[in-house]
Structures are given as structure tokens and as C-alpha cells.
Amino acid sequence: MSAQESALRSYWDFYLAGMRQRIQVGFQYRAATYMYTVGMLAEPVIYLVVWRTIANQHGGTINGVGAGQIAAYYIVWTVVRTFNIVFTPFGWEWRIREGTLSAQLLRPIHPVHYDMADFAGQKFPWLVMYSPLAVGLALVFHPSLHPRPLEILVFIVAIWGAYVIRSLNHFVLGMLTLFTTRATSVFQIWFLAELLVSGRLVPLSFMPHWAQTLAAWLPFKWTFYFPIESLVGSMSTQTLLTGLLWQCLWTAIGSVLVFVAFRLAIRHYSAVGN
Amino acid sequence: MQAVVHVAGLEKVFKVPEREAGLRASVASLFNRRWQDVRAVDGVSFEVGPGEVVGFLGPNGAGKTTTLKMLSGLLHPTGGEARVLGHVPWKRERDYLRRMTLVMGNRNQLQWDLPALDSFELNRAIYRLPREDFRTTRDELIELLDIGDLVRKPVRQLSLGERMKVEVVGSLLHLPQVLFLDEPTIGLDVTMQKRIRSFVAAYNERYGATVLLTSHYMADVEALCKRVIVIHHGRLLFDGRLDALVDRFGAYKTIEAVLADGETLTLQVPRDETSAATARLLADHDVHDLTVEDPPIEDVIEQVFAS
């Protein structure tokens, strides 16, 4: 076995062990996980009700999108949101103070992998617990959803792509905490931008052309709008595959940023916690 | 013999913001922020040979933990150089991280909600340990610390002492050649302290590991270390054998004599007058039993800091 093969197998082994650990925690605290999942529904249900009401007031559609499609958008939104939840940059201050980062740095693996494995594992209990809720939402809001097999395939890849891009971006953001202990204002600006041009608050197709153009050049769209639309919308095969390529590009950019930012930030680490 | 730990002129300066208390000072600091340079480690040099167990002593804030954090690659130094097992620690090369460990008394590297065995399994994957070797080492360490019944309970249900024992095993599963132990017995009761001590001694003997240990419990140091390094205000004050430290800084000896009538006399005499005082005591009294003792190591260390 070559050194590269061996390294890949080791990473695979680590991810399996890390995910397994998180899945166990998720099921062990199933009540808490369930409450969290239910709580997560509040945001998309509010958006869904608001946009459906607006659609009904405009003859049943907004920009040619019907109420059933809006329902489908926000129900799929919940799945995408479940997948793109990653370790928050706000948690870095806690992580430093509690000595968790120090414990990670003492081990022969890049700290980004802990978050990636941990939150990847979390998806499975969430998904299991979310499934009955999704059925309930479908019964109440009657989504219009007729995906092709290719769309389903692209969606499965895209939700993991969204997860990886968001993990890398948030890791880079979190590392700001190593330069200044109060980096939260930067995080707030980031999340505001994400809320507005990712498709989280408003489907991008409802936004003005200039906003859609801007969104195309930022990473946010590829973590919300694209995965949702890959299943809900009627994208051509070329658009679907180009979208996956964009996700690959943002993954590459995120990886480089993590690598560079980590090398710079770690020199400033003062290990002030435990 | 080549040193496992080589430290030369190691320095660490922290830039710390400072201001007076109160709202006015808080507003003023917006425009004129003042910084203070805190020299946590100030030109420390020493070497540790293979298999040595060295006590790293000093009062709170002396720079012990900062030094250990630099040697384990957590901190970048401001100046000086260090090599551990031939690696520059703060380059954080994987080969180096696989061969050392830093155990801190208040660190929690275990998954809180799961039995420690699950965290051990994650460590196996992180350190890329072959499954068979991992199981053998794990079982051996569990047996050595007698924690077979603890590793199956969720970590959050363990007491502080139990958790520390499990932590120590978790930190050693990859059989590190260098152990940096930062107050591994802090907060533990006497029995638990003894257990950890004998475990470290056994590990050192079995695997020939090099150990650099900080502790405020002198019993730890006396039980494990023949050699001690004393630092204060970031500077090295003493580096040598523990008994040489006592010879050099133990200013007095304690003579205890039990007289024939059952009365006990306890005298503290300057070290260089011990022989004369003992001779006079024997000449002047009918002595039934006599002991001459060095001062407790705590007093010696206090004397070192005072000097």
C-alpha cells in the first residue's frame, strides 16, 4: 500500500470513528436531539407561511413560482439546513477557554477534521428524527416536488458539498479568535451576508437580478440555494453539474484558506485556557 | 548519550493589555491602549536524557506550564531553541506529535457523554495504531491502573480522580516516548496521588520513556525524580540531583533525640553545625534514640525561591 493510500485509509478510519462517536451521543440524548430538531423547524415554517401568504395575495405565484413549489423549497430547506450545520465560529472562544483546542493541537491530525467528523456524524440521528416531521410538513403544506433521478443524485452530493464548504469557511472565521478574543462582530457581518444572499431567507429567484449576480460570486449560494434548487427546481443537467463544480471550487478555496489561516493563526495561539 | 529534550535560551514573552479599573479608564483605553510585556520564560536552558524522570519545579507563574506548552508544540517561543526527539516542537510535525504527550491535571480530552473506551477508539484512529497493538496496550494500561470497571461508564459519571486515571491512560495509548506531565495529581486524594505516581514510575520503567513532571506536591517529586530543575520568574535557578538541592539549599537539619527518661528533644541546627550539636547532645544527655533529618523538601524549595 502506498503512503498516500495508507494516509487516506487512516483519514477514513478517523472519520468513521469520529462519526460513530457522535451518532452514539445523538441517540443517547435522543430527547434533546428531537427538541433541537423541532426547534429548527420554526425558522423555515415562518418563511414558508410568509411567502405562501404573499403568493396567495398575488394570484398564487411569485415570479412564476407557485405555492406548492414554495412549500417544497422550504421543506427541502430543512434538510439542507440540517446538513449545513457546522461548528459555529462563536464556539471558538469557549473552545480556547476550556482547553479543547489545546487537546486537539496535541494530536497528530489537523483540528479541522474533528469538527468535520463530529458534525458529519450528527446528521444521521437528526435525519432519522426529522423524517416523521418532514411527512407532517408535507401533509400540512402540500409541496410540489417531482425530482428526476439525476436531481436526487446531485442533491445527495450537493448537501454534503454544502456541509464541507460551510465547515471550512466557519473554521477560517473561528480562527480570527486567535488574533482577537472578540471576533464576534465579524461573525455577525458574515452571517448577515449569508442570510441575505444564500437563499436562506429568500429564494434567490425572488431577488433582483443584481443580487442574484452578486450571490453567484459568493460561497453562500452553494450552501443553501443550490442544494435546495437541485431537488426542487428544474435545472438543466448542465446547470446541475456546473453547480457541483462550483462547490468543488469553493471547497478548494476553503481548504487553501484553512491551511494558510491555520499556519498564521497558530503562531498567535497563547493557550490561555486550561 | 544524546539528549531527548534539548532546550537552549528558551524565551516566551506575552503581550498583555493593562488598564486601571473603572469606566473612565475603560474609555481612555479606546484611544490609548497600554501593553505590558510579561516574560513568562526568560532564557531557560537544560537537557534531559533518555529515560530520565525530571521534576520541573517552581511557584505559580514561574513559567513551568509555559515551558511545557512550548515543548509540546502548543506555543511558539519568542526566542531560543528547543528540540525534542530531534524535532522542533512548534513545527508540530506529525511524527513528533505521535511520539509525545502532554497531560495536564485539568484537561479533558475524553468524550464527556460516552464511556472512555469510545474515546480510546478515537485515539486509535488518530494515532493510526494497528488494532491488535492498540488492544494489547489499552488492556495493559487499564490493568496497570486498575480501571477496568471505570472505562465502561460514561465519563461524566466518574469522580475527578477516576477521570484523571482514565485521562492518563487515554494519553498513553500511543506509547509516547516523551511525557510532559503538568500537575497530574492536582486535586486528587492521597491514595489516588500514590496510584498515579506508581503508574508513571511503572510506565517509565516498562517503556523507557522520558518524563518531565511539574507538581506542587513534593511527594510526587520525591517518589519519581532523582533530578530537579527549579525555575522562578521564568529563570532557571537550579538544575541537578534532588539530594544536591537539599545539600545546597537545606539551611538546617533537624535533630530529634529521645532521652532515657522518655522526654523528646527536637532541635533545628544550622547544617554545618550538625556534627558538633549532635556530639554535645550525646555528651550532655543520656540519649536513648537519635535521628538527624534533612528539612522537608517543601522548605528547601521555599529556600531556593527566597534566595
**pLDDT tens sequence across B2-39:** 899 999 999 999 888 777 777 777 777 767 777 888 89
Q: Has residue A272 been placed in a domain?
A: no
* pLDDT at site B59: 86
Encode burial over A150-184: b for 16+ CB neighbours within 10 A, e otherwise: ebeebbeebbebbbbbbbbbbbbbbbbbbeeeebe
Collect all residues from A whose CB is shorter than 8 A from any CB in B. Answer: 10, 13-14, 16-18, 21, 24-25, 28-29, 98-99, 102-103, 105-109, 266-267, 269-271, 274
Q: Has residue A83 been placed in a domain?
A: yes
Alpha-carbon distance A266 to B3, whole Å? 27
Q: B122–A25: do the CB atoms touch at under 8 Å? A: no
The three cell numbers locating residue A90: 462563536
Structurally, chain A folds into a number of domains equal to: 1
DSSP B91-127: G--HHHHTTEEEEETT---S-TTSBHHHHHHHHHHHT
The answer to whether residues A114 and A104 touch, using CB atoms and an 8 Å cutoff, is: yes
For the CA atoms of A125, A126, A127, A133, the dihedral, rounded to the nearest 10 degrees, stands at 130
* pLDDT at site B106: 64
Q: Has residue A59 been placed in a domain?
A: yes
* pLDDT at site A154: 97
| Cβ-based contacts of B64 with chain A (< 8 Å) | none
Q: Which of B194, B243, B250 is nearest to B55 (CA)?
A: B243
| Cβ-based contacts of B108 with chain A (< 8 Å) | 98-99, 103
| Angle of the A112-141 helix axis to the A149-174 helix axis, nearest 10 | 130
Residue B248 to chain A, least CA–CA distance (Å): 35
Amino acid at B173: L
* pLDDT at site B107: 64
Residue B161 to chain A, least CA–CA distance (Å): 17
Test the A interface: residue of B12, B67, B85, B109 with most A CBs within 10 Å: B109
The answer to whether residues B40 and B234 touch, using CB atoms and an 8 Å cutoff, is: yes
* pLDDT at site A233: 84
Test the B interface: residue of A15, A106, A181, A267 with most B CBs within 10 Å: A106
Q: B97–A103: do the CB atoms touch at under 8 Å? A: no
Q: Has residue A274 been placed in a domain?
A: no
The answer to whether residues A226 and A205 touch, using CB atoms and an 8 Å cutoff, is: no
Laid out side by side, the sheet with B178-182 consists of B100-104, B178-182, B210-214, B53-57, B227-232, B235-241
Residue A30 to chain B, least CA–CA distance (Å): 13
Residue B283 to chain A, least CA–CA distance (Å): 58
- 3-state SS, one letter per residue, for chain A: CCHHHHHHHHHHHHHHHHHHHHHHHHHHCHHHHHHHHHHHHHHHHHHHHHHHHHHHHCCCEECCEEHHHHHHHHHHHHHHHHHHCCCCHHHHHHHHHCCHHHHHHCCCCCCHHHHHHHHHHHHHHHHHHHHHHHHHHHHHHCCCCCCCHHHHHHHHHHHHHHHHHHHHHHHHHHHHHHCCCCCHHHHHHHHHHHHHHCCCCCCHHHCCHHHHHHHHCCCHHHHCHHHHHHHHCCCCHHHHHHHHHHHHHHHHHHHHHHHHHHHHHHCCCCCCCC
Alpha-carbon distance A138 to B264, whole Å? 91
Structural domain range at position A146:
3-266
The three cell numbers locating residue A2: 502506498
SS3 content of chain B, % helix, strand, coil (to 5): 40, 30, 30
**pLDDT tens sequence across B92-118:** 999 999 999 999 876 668 888 899 999
The partner residue sitting opposite A274, judged by closest CB among B95, B106, B128, is B106
* pLDDT at site B256: 87
The partner residue sitting opposite B74, judged by closest CB among A13, A18, A102, is A102
In Å, what is the CA distance from A262 to each residue of A105, A119, A160, A255, B166? 11, 20, 23, 10, 31
> What residues in chain A have per-residue pLDDT under 70?
1, 181-182, 272-274
Q: Has residue A253 been placed in a domain?
A: yes
Q: Has residue A273 been placed in a domain?
A: no
Residue B240 to chain A, least CA–CA distance (Å): 29
Residue B177 to chain A, least CA–CA distance (Å): 14
In Å, what is the CA distance from B178 to each residue of B21, B39, B97? 44, 26, 10
Test the B interface: residue of A104, A107, A264 with most B CBs within 10 Å: A107
Dihedrals phi, psi of B38, to nearest 5 degrees: -110, 115
Paired with B170 in beta bridges are: none
Q: A14–B92: do the CB atoms touch at under 8 Å? A: no
Q: Has residue A271 been placed in a domain?
A: no
| Cβ-based contacts of A266 with chain B (< 8 Å) | 76, 92
The partner residue sitting opposite B121, judged by closest CB among A17, A106, A108, is A17
> What residues in chain B have per-residue pLDDT under 70?
1, 30, 106-108, 307
* pLDDT at site A268: 86
